[in-house]
Amino acid sequence: MSKQHDRLQRIAVKDNVLQIAGRPANQLVAMAGGTPCYIYDRNALTERVQSLRSVMPSDLKLHYAIKANPLPAVVYHMAGLVDGLDVASQREMVVAIGSGIDPETISFAGPAKRVEELRAAVAANIVINVESSLELERLYQLSSELQIKPRIALRVNPDFELKSSGMKMAGGPKQFGIDAELMPDVLSGLDTEKVDFYGFHIFSGSQNLKPDALIEAHAKTFELATRLCELAPAPVRHINIGGGLGIPYFPGEQMLDVVPVAEHLQKLMDARTGRFKNAEIVMELGRYLVGEAGYYLCQITDKKVSRGQTFLMTDGGLHHNLSNSGNFGQVIRKNYPVLIANRVTSEEKETVEIVGPLCTPLDIVGAKLELPVAEVGDLVVVFQSGAYGATASPQQFLSHPEVKEMLV
């Protein structure tokens, strides 16, 4: 398998059929109701959380950011494994509450929260990560209106960024959070009669595979947190240091080595002083927890050769798995790991373009892939598809059937 991905060295195969969660891929597809579908492996989710916990400081709190995969079955399973859930909208909040987790461990981040969303969050007693001064004013009003003291943390737009990140979400002018340099004023004006102050949320970036970059961001995050804690008007109960741990998607990318990141974090946590010392440290992760546990499967519906290029046409594509198509934040499109699930290896290979049913050349499932010679009816599987899949894709575009999802 030339130029494919190291993920493909860690798969189970029986009778040349990919096994997912100990079962043949085609059997799971039948269970899910056919293609196109996402299959999520429950044990893989559990193992991922356990292996991360085994290296991270024992008192580090792990949260799951459910926008990565908000399927209720996934969220409920994750709720039993992590210390809290992070939501980004009122509807996500309702799913998180449905898991039965303690509302105090649910936090709500997001720029441009609507007043109705803030009201719902106050009523639910979850922690709201406040992202502007006006949002704080609105919470003061809701505090009087509902006679509930909103639980709040202040989201800080740090004066640094997580270097070499898949997505830049901090440093410089940003729509997220309140600029670090404005925090002294915001903190001195904070009315703790009206809101219950929990702490700070400092999120500096996402999808990072470089331990050194994460270590540097953590050092700067702790530095900033130290300064902020001294200015806080009330004891600081928690500091959310963001996440940023990435997973390998493309050829040549390696799994992130979390050990040096964890060791450094332990040192930072041990070295804390003053008001920072007793605050809980929270890490919030999305794709790192769920991304590798998900598989997107579609079926080959047609095969043709156009001017020397072989095309495998499938019933799934960009409308279900936008990230894999390369249209969700990628500059240059690269392939996710892809296989023919019912024909994993073969002596006979060919180079193919795998495309979906949409009337746009952007609908690519895999480009220039060398794969076993496939036939109509075969199953294409896309790995690393557990995060930012079904709900991060334009499913209505061209009105094809909705993707099926199943946790096994």
Beta carbon nearer to ligand PLP, 143 or 208: 208
Beta carbon nearer to ligand PLP, 99 or 360: 99
**Angle at Cα 385 formed by Cα 288 and Cα 101, nearest 5°?**
50
Beta carbon nearer to ligand PLP, 18 or 68: 68
DSSP 138-198: HHHHHHHHHT---EEEEEEE-SS--TT-SEE-SSSS-SSSEEGGGHHHHHHT--TTTSEEE
377: tokens are 């009816």
Minimum Å gap between C-beta 143 and ligand PLP is: 24
Minimum Å gap between C-beta 246 and ligand PLP is: 7
Beta carbon nearer to ligand PLP, 284 or 378: 284
Given a contact cutoff of 8 angstroms between Cβ atoms, the answer to whether 45 and 81 are in contact is yes
Residues 6+ apart with CB under 8 A from 330: none
> Terminal CA-to-CA distance of the chain, rounded, Å?
28
249: tokens are 């998607």
Nearest to 316 by CA among 401, 391, 377: 401
Beta carbon nearer to ligand PLP, 198 or 203: 203
Helix (H) or strand (E) holding 208: none
Beta carbon nearer to ligand PLP, 108 or 276: 108
DSSP-derived pairing of the beta strands 196-202 and 23-24: unpaired
Distance of CA 192 to the CA centre of its chain: 33
Minimum Å gap between C-beta 288 and ligand PLP is: 6
Minimum Å gap between C-beta 247 and ligand PLP is: 9
**Angle at Cα 132 formed by Cα 128 and Cα 136, nearest 5°?**
60
Beta carbon nearer to ligand PLP, 88 or 340: 88
Burial class of 31 by CB neighbour count within 10 A (0 to 12, 13 to 18, 19+): middle
Minimum Å gap between C-beta 186 and ligand PLP is: 19
Beta carbon nearer to ligand PLP, 67 or 404: 67
* Alpha carbon distance 236, 190 (integer Å): 13
Minimum Å gap between C-beta 136 and ligand PLP is: 18
DSSP-derived pairing of the beta strands 294-306 and 37-40: antiparallel
Amino acid identity of residue 270, one-letter, is D
Q: Which residue is nearest to ligand PLP (CB)?
A: 286
Minimum Å gap between C-beta 107 and ligand PLP is: 9
Minimum Å gap between C-beta 75 and ligand PLP is: 14
Given a contact cutoff of 8 angstroms between Cβ atoms, the answer to whether 364 and 333 are in contact is yes
Q: Which stretches of the chain bind ligand PLP, using CB under 6 A?
A: 65, 67-68, 86, 109, 203, 206-207, 242-243, 284-288, 387
Beta carbon nearer to ligand PLP, 142 or 387: 387
Minimum Å gap between C-beta 202 and ligand PLP is: 10
